[in-house]
Structure formats: C-alpha cells, structure tokens
Structure 1
Amino acid sequence: MKRRNFIAAAAAGSAGIVTTSAFAKEQETHKDFKLQNNINHSVCYWCFNHLPLEEFLQVLNGLGIKAIDLIGPKDWPLLKKYDIHCSMCNGAEISLTKGWNDPQYHEELIKNYSEIIPQVAEAGYTNLICFSGNRNGMNDYVGLQNCVEGLSKIMPLAEKHGVVIQMELFNQVNHPDYMCDSSIWGVELCKHLGSDNFKLLYDIYHMQIQEGDIIRSIQNYHPYFGHYHTAGVPGRHEIDETQELYYPAIMKAILDTGYTGYVAQEFISTWDDKIAALKDAFLQCDV
C-alpha cells in the first residue's frame, strides 16, 4: 500500500488481538536486541501494517522502541495501553495533494487543525503533520504566500498548546507536482511564519532523490527540521549496504546538531522477516 492511500484510509483503523503468550514469545525473540538510544527511534506504522496495530505495538514493546509515527486520534488509546508515544500525529490533513498552498482548502484545514491541535496536546503529544499540496500550475512564491496566510490562522493555537505543525518534504518522482519539494522552499516558509511551532519534516529518502547533499542540508538547515524519516535509495527499501545512503554518518550528523527529537523508519521491507529488517534498520541508525 502506498503511503498516500494508507493515510486516506487511516480512519478505517486497525484491529488485532494478541495473546499474552504471543507477547512473551516476542519478548524472548528480541531479548538480545540492545540499543544505545542516542537516537530517539520511531517507526511509521503504514510500512508494517501487515500486522494489526495492536500486535505491532507489542513487537515495539519487545524491542524497547518507545514511539510510532502517523497515528490519528482514534488509535491513541491503544498507544497509551502499550505506553508507546505518537511521535508524529496525523488526522487533520485533507490529503498530500490538497494542502495549505491552495486557499480553497483553507476553511476545511483551519477547522480540522483547530479541532485536532488541542487533542494532540491533551494526549501528551507534540508533532502534527501537514502538507503543502500540489502546484496545479501555481507559482511557488504564490503558493508560499498562500501557505503563510492559511497556516498563520492556526499558529497561535499551536503555540498555545505547545504543538508543532510539521510540513513534510517530498520528491517529484514519487509525488509529482507537490510544492514543498526542496529544503530552501520549506526553510523560507518557516522564516515567513516566524514560529518555533512550525518546522519541516525532513524525509531523507525524498530529499536524497530530489536534491541530494543530505548531510550538508542537515548541517545548514537543522534549526528548521523538527523530525526525520528514513528509507533506502533507490526503492524506499532497507537502509543497509544495498542502497546508496550511509545512515550511520547521517545519524551522526543529526546528533551533532544537538537534535533530541525522533527519527522514524519509513521503508518498505523486501525481507521475508520484516521485523528482522526493522531491527536491522534501528541498529544501522543507533550511533
């Protein structure tokens, strides 16, 4: 399932019942898995939704992973049950293609975010995702100004509740016509908004495809990056020696900036044992 389809279908939710004995077996399986945790690890559930959410949360408990990305309010009680933090909340956006750059969506987006922001804070979470939307022939500067106009309406509420709105960067190969497709455009949006409660979700996979020079971008623009996603290039697969990025160096560069937020795995596993692939990815990033 593609991520855009998963987000659109997220309201359908997840269900699963896992026995205590199964959970104990998982814990036994992962008992030798040890992390330094200099990096705060997370994972995007949509990449591993071959498992029911409840079962996946139990796997994370067995691994000692304390956070998960891209979960909406309906499933937050389940996260609470397993003491898993939602490191990137969703549920307020319309879609990846219909976003803040188009004024025709502002009324709906302002309503959605005004409802969800207090819920995020009440649940004890911080980050809430948003999207620029597609260009549809729109000039990038006009789109930026439209984003500023719309987002400015919700930023006081975000600041009041301590919620950080994060716009994700995408590449043009996977998401043709998406407007927020460069670090510089995103940084300019942050500067125009002038709020510590607006940041960029820097997706390493997308930005390697779109502009490269990942470590330099992290060094230059890290004050504007509030969250990170991983995946291997090419193909959005494992982040091991089969791909062109060296994640230990990237993670070290992130740590060197003083970053204390979360790094979430967002790759599509090609391994038969997808949890083994996830464990390997956490170890690749555990510098």
Structure 2
Amino acid sequence: MSLDRRSVLKGLAGSAAALGASMALPSMAKAAITNYDQLKEDLRELKLKGRINHSVCKWCYDKIPLEDLCKAAKEIGLTSIELLGPAEWPTLKKYDLYCAMPWGAHKKLDRGFNDPTYHDELFQLYEAVIPQVAAAGFNQLICFSGNRRGMSDEQGLENCAKGLQRLMPLAEKHKVTLTMELLNSKVNHKDYQCDHTAWGVELAKKIGSDRFKLLYDIYHMQIMEGDVIATIKKFHPYISHYHTAGVPGRNEIDDSQELNYPAIMKAIVDTGYKGYVGQEFIPKHTEPLVSLRESVKICDV
C-alpha cells in the first residue's frame, strides 16, 4: 500500500484511534518485523559517534506499531521518533524518547498560511497545540505554506508572514519554534509554495523571530534546486531541522541513489548544528529496520 504524509495528515484527527487499532493487530506487526528478535544483536552493534542526533519519522513505518518502533529505535541508538501528535507522545515518554518534530496543529499541508482564508482556523489550531508541545518538553512544531493556487511568490510571502506573526508571541512565550517544511512541487506536492530555500529564508526574514525556522528536507530540495551542501552552508542559520531520503524514489539513502549523505552530514555538522536529523525515506527492504539501521550508520559521521 502506498502511503505519504498527505494521507497521514488527513487522518491526524483520529491518530489515537489509529494507534489503538495498530496495537490490536499483532499479525500485521509480525509481518512487518518477522525477524525482530534476530535483529536485536545486530542493532546493538551500531556504535554511534554522537555528532548527529538521530530521529526517524513514524509514518514511513506504518506497519510497525509505535511501541515496537520505540523498542527498535532504542536498540539502534535513535533518541527521537517524530511527526507524531499529542496522542502518541505518552508512548515516547514511556521509552524515554524525544519528538524532534511534532505535528498536530496542521490538518492539510496544501491549505496553509499563504491563504488568509485559513488564518483564523490555523491560529486556533496552533494556539491549542503550542502549549501542549511545550508541556511535553518539546521545542518545535511543524507548519506548512499551503499551495499556490495561482498566487505569486510575493503575495504568498506577505500572507504567510501575516498569518505566522500572529502566533509568534505565543511561540516565543512557550519557546516553541514553528518550523515550515520545504517540499518539492515537482513530484510529491504539486503546487506547494514553500518549495525553494531562498523563499523560505525570505519568509523567515519577514517574520523576524528566532521562533520561526525552516525544515530543510534534503530529498525535496535535491529535486527542486540541487546544490545541497552549498545551500546548507549559506542558509543554515535559518534551518532548525533536517530530513533524509534517497533521490530518486524517496527510498533508502545508500549507493542506489544520487545523494552523498556522508558528505552532506559532514557539512551539516560543520555548520555547528546541534539539532536532529530525521530519517524520512520509505524502506524497500523486506526488513525495514535493517534499512533504518543502515541509514543511521550512513549519517553518523
């Protein structure tokens, strides 16, 4: 079954129910991690250097119940599972895991801050979730520009700035950074507006708060503009989170794809970055946890 974050976001309101359902399907879990016991020793062998804080996006492992993914994450050495809403955070706490990039306020990524029609609704949603993020001990919350629908880049910047500036006092009060993701509009998210790093940086300048940053998705930006390492070096002060995936295909980040992830990770470390790198590839391997382990190893420079 094909799954992407658009479909996950669509069902976000029912996340607690979905989690309960997944926990009630042990046969599905066993199918996804048939050799988990055999994997444990191999997972433990990975000795991480500690220069990269490793995270993983839950939606990429949809057949693995959150509890099992938490256990595997601990074995591998990850300290975060992300893109989870308030209903899932207690499970992370149970396993002493962090949520480096929470979600829960934005319903549909194609309907975002670039359209004033949604500003009041988005304000109410984020107003409710920002304090929850802070209370849980997390410090970021994902947000999206929305689709252009014929809108110019200049008008989109103006609208996004107005909508997000309303939330900045609350975000600053609770020390929660609203982080807008850069997504490609060629392959996965047609017509999405925040699809170039320079546009996102200009938005950050307009907003003028340290509590607004960018999520630099390496996969998406390779598709849109390339020049990944030079872009990271130039704009790293505006970036508070990174995502990975292989290009083309959004699968494993090994030598089956075109990006040199060790070099990219070294460039990120050299900027002084102390945040998290979230694995967001869709595993093709029959044992997805093997792919996760190997991708963490590739990024652990």
TM-score, normalised by the number of residues in structure 2:
0.91
* 8 Å contact from structure 1 (residues 73, 91) kept in 2: yes
SS of 2:44's equivalent?
A: coil
| Distance in 2 between residues matched to 1:276 and 1:147, nearest whole Å | 40
Residue aligning to 1:2 = 4
SS of 1:167's equivalent?
A: strand
Residue aligning to 2:235 = 221
- Give the drift of 1:126: 0.6
* 8 Å contact from structure 2 (residues 43, 293) kept in 1: no
| Distance in 1 between residues matched to 2:36 and 2:198, nearest whole Å | 45
Q: Deviations over 1:171-216 (max 9, x none)?
A: 1121111000101100000000011100000000000000000000
Asked if 1:183 corresponds to 2:197, the answer is yes
| Distance in 2 between residues matched to 1:7 and 1:103, nearest whole Å | 21
- Give the drift of 1:47: 0.4
- Give the drift of 1:10: 3.0
| Distance in 1 between residues matched to 2:39 and 2:128, nearest whole Å | 37
Asked if 1:206 corresponds to 2:208, the answer is no
* 8 Å contact from structure 2 (residues 53, 274) kept in 1: yes
SS of 1:85's equivalent?
A: coil
| Distance in 2 between residues matched to 1:125 and 1:209, nearest whole Å | 30
* 8 Å contact from structure 1 (residues 97, 134) kept in 2: yes
Q: Deviations over 1:104-136 (max 9, x none)?
A: 000010001011001000000011000000001
In the alignment, structure 1 segments of 5+ residues that lack a partner are none
* 8 Å contact from structure 1 (residues 169, 186) kept in 2: yes
Residue aligning to 2:262 = 248
- Give the drift of 1:155: 0.5
Residue aligning to 2:46 = 33
Q: Which amino acid aligns with 2:222?
A: Q
Tell me the C-alpha RMSD between the 2 structures: 1.6
SS of 1:60's equivalent?
A: helix
Percent identity at matched positions? Answer: 54
Q: Which amino acid aligns with 1:8?
A: K
Q: In the TM superposition, what are the counterparts of 1:154-193 in structure 2 within 5 Å?
A: 154-172=167-185, 173-193=187-207
Residue aligning to 1:115 = 128
Asked if 1:140 corresponds to 2:140, the answer is no
TM-score, normalised by the number of residues in structure 1:
0.96
Q: Which amino acid aligns with 2:268?
A: I
Q: Which amino acid aligns with 1:90?
A: W
Residue aligning to 2:30 = none
Which is worse superposed, 176-185 or 32-41? 32-41
